[in-house]
Homo-oligomer: A and B are copies of this chain.
Amino acid sequence: MKKTPGTGDVHPAEPKADKASVRRHNLSLVLRTVHEAGETTRAAVAARVGLTRAAVSSLVEHLLDQGFLVESGKTFSGQAGRPGTVLKAADTGPAGLGVEINVDYVSVCVVDLAGTDRLRITEPLDNRAAGATEVLGRAARIAARVLARAAERELHPAGVRLALPGLVSSGTVHQAPNLGWNRVDADRIFAAALTALCPGRPELRVASDNEANVAALAELWFGALGDARSFVHLTGEIGVGGAIVVNGELLRGAHGFAGEIGHMAVDAEGPLCRCGSRGCLEQYAGQSALLRASGLAEEGETGASGVEELARRAEAGEPRAVAAVEEAGRMLGLALSGAVNLLDPEVVVLGGIYPRLMPRLGPAVDAELARRVVSGLWTPTAGRLRPASTSTDAARGAAAVVIREVLADPLAYGR
C-alpha cells in the first residue's frame, strides 16, 4: 500500500460566515464584555476579546449610537496603559420584564441592560382560590403598571418572561399542583391580557419558565457563589421548587421538567401531596407545612408575615417554632443528601423563605447531609450550604433571561 503524504491535510469545510453575521456576532461580543465588566474601556475590551482597537471602536460607536452603551465621562487607566473613557451598559433603552406568579403573591420587575433590578411591584394575592385566567389577568394588570413606570424612566422591555411554580414546557404550564393548574396556555393568556391593557404598545413576546429555574439563574448571574458553577438550588415557597446547575448551565431534562426536588419522597408512607404522591419533601418543608407544624397556621398567620413571625419565634427559642424549623431542616437534609449523592454539586443554595430561617434551619440541614453524603466530603464547616442572596429571586432571574437575549443579538433590539 503506497502512502501519498500531504494530500489529506485539509480541514472539513466550515460554513462561510458573511460580513453581516460576523458584525452581528462581534456587536454581541463587545456588548456582553462591557455588561460583564460593569465599567471598562475600549482598550480593555479589545484586549479581552482579541479584536483590534480600531474594530472595537467601530463596534462601540454603533452600540453607543443605538443606546446599548453609554460613556460615563470619567476616564479610567486600566491594565491596558493609556487612560480611556469609561464605557458601561445603558440604564435606559432595552430592558427585561420578569413576572413571578406564585401561590400567594405576584412579583413583577424590570431589569436594565446592566442587570440592575430597577423597578418592582410585589403584591400578596391568594392565587390558589382563583382560576388561571383570572390569575394571569391580575399579573398582567401589575405588569401594565410596572410598564407605565418603566416608560417614564425610558426603560423599554424587549420581552416578558413569566416565572411559574410548576412544570413548564413550550409555553404551556403542564402542571402546577399548588395553583391547581393543568395544561394552561400561560404565554398566550398573559399576552392577550397585557395587550388589552396597553392598546397603544407594540405587543411584547411572552415566554414562560419554571420559577425555581430562573431563581437559580439569578443566583448564578447575580449571587454570591464565587467560583462555584455547579449547584443545587432550592426555593421554599408554598411549594418547594428546585433547580440544578451544572458547569454554569441549567440541567433542564428531557421534557424540561428536571429539578423537582420538592417531590422527592422523604417518607414513603407520609401524607398525601397535591401532586398525587405521598411523603413529598414539600409536605414537611414547604411554607404551609412550617406554619402548620409551628402552630402559626392555627393562629391565622399566613404568607410573608407568618414566615417572619416563625423566624422571630425560632430565634427566640420558642419550642414549637424551633421544632418545626428543625424538622423541616432534617427533611430538607434527607432529600438533599439524595440529590448530593446523585449530582455531587459544589454547593447547595437555599432560597425563598429559607434564608430568613437559616440560624435554626441551616445546622439541621447540614447535620443530615454530613451523616448521609457517601463521599464524606460534606462537613458543616465546609460552608457548602448557602442561603440565596437576598438580591436574587425568580422575577429578577426571569427579567435577566430577557436581557441575555438582547445581549446575544443586540441588532435585533436596536432603535
Residues of chain A whose beta carbon lies under 8 Å from any beta carbon of chain B: 1-13, 17, 19, 22-23, 25-27, 29, 49-52, 54-59, 61-62, 64-65, 167, 174-175, 177, 230, 242, 244, 246, 251-261, 263-268, 275-278, 330, 334-335, 337-339, 341-346, 371-372, 374-377
A257 touching B5 by the CB < 8 A rule?
Answer: no
Q: A175-B374, A253-B343, A372-B265 are in contact. Are A65 and B8 (CB under 8 A)?
A: no
B50 touching A12 by the CB < 8 A rule?
Answer: yes
Max chain B Cβ within 10 angstroms of own Cβ: one of A58, A256, A335, A375: A375
B276 touching A371 by the CB < 8 A rule?
Answer: yes
Max chain B Cβ within 10 angstroms of own Cβ: one of A9, A25, A167: A9
A338 touching B372 by the CB < 8 A rule?
Answer: no
A58 touching B257 by the CB < 8 A rule?
Answer: no
- Give A342 to B267 CA distance when docked, in angstroms: 17
Can you spell out 30 A-B residue pairs with CB atoms less than 8 angstroms apart? A1-B61, A3-B65, A7-B55, A7-B58, A8-B27, A8-B51, A8-B55, A9-B22, A10-B52, A11-B26, A12-B51, A167-B374, A177-B374, A230-B253, A242-B342, A254-B344, A255-B377, A256-B344, A257-B377, A258-B344, A260-B375, A263-B372, A264-B338, A265-B334, A265-B338, A268-B334, A275-B374, A277-B374, A335-B338, A342-B343
Q: Which of B17, B177, B255 contacts A11 (CB 8 A)?
A: B17
Given the complex, which residues of B lie within 8 Å of A3, measured CB to CB?
A: 58, 61-62, 65
- Give A59 to B346 CA distance when docked, in angstroms: 44
Given contacts A3-B61, A254-B346, 4 further A-B contacts (CB under 8 A): A6-B58, A12-B50, A242-B342, A277-B374
- Give A254 to B242 CA distance when docked, in angstroms: 19
Q: A263-B372, A265-B338 are in contact. Are A58 and B10 (CB under 8 A)?
A: no
Given the complex, which residues of B lie within 8 Å of A275, measured CB to CB?
A: 374
Min CB–CB distance A165 → chain B (angstroms): 12
Min CB–CB distance A45 → chain B (angstroms): 12
Please give me the 7 A-B residue pairs with the lowest Cβ-Cβ distance, nearest first. A253-B344, A12-B50, A8-B58, A264-B338, A260-B341, A258-B344, A263-B374
Q: A257-B344, A266-B268 are in contact. Are A61 and B375 (CB under 8 A)?
A: no
Given the complex, which residues of B lie within 8 Å of A268, measured CB to CB?
A: 266-267, 330, 334
Q: A61-B2, A268-B334, A377-B255 are in contact. Are A341 and B8 (CB under 8 A)?
A: no
Q: Which of B8, B259, B339, B344 contacts A255 (CB 8 A)?
A: B344
Min CB–CB distance A410 → chain B (angstroms): 13
B8 touching A56 by the CB < 8 A rule?
Answer: yes
- Give A52 to B54 CA distance when docked, in angstroms: 39
Min CB–CB distance A205 → chain B (angstroms): 26
A22 touching B17 by the CB < 8 A rule?
Answer: no
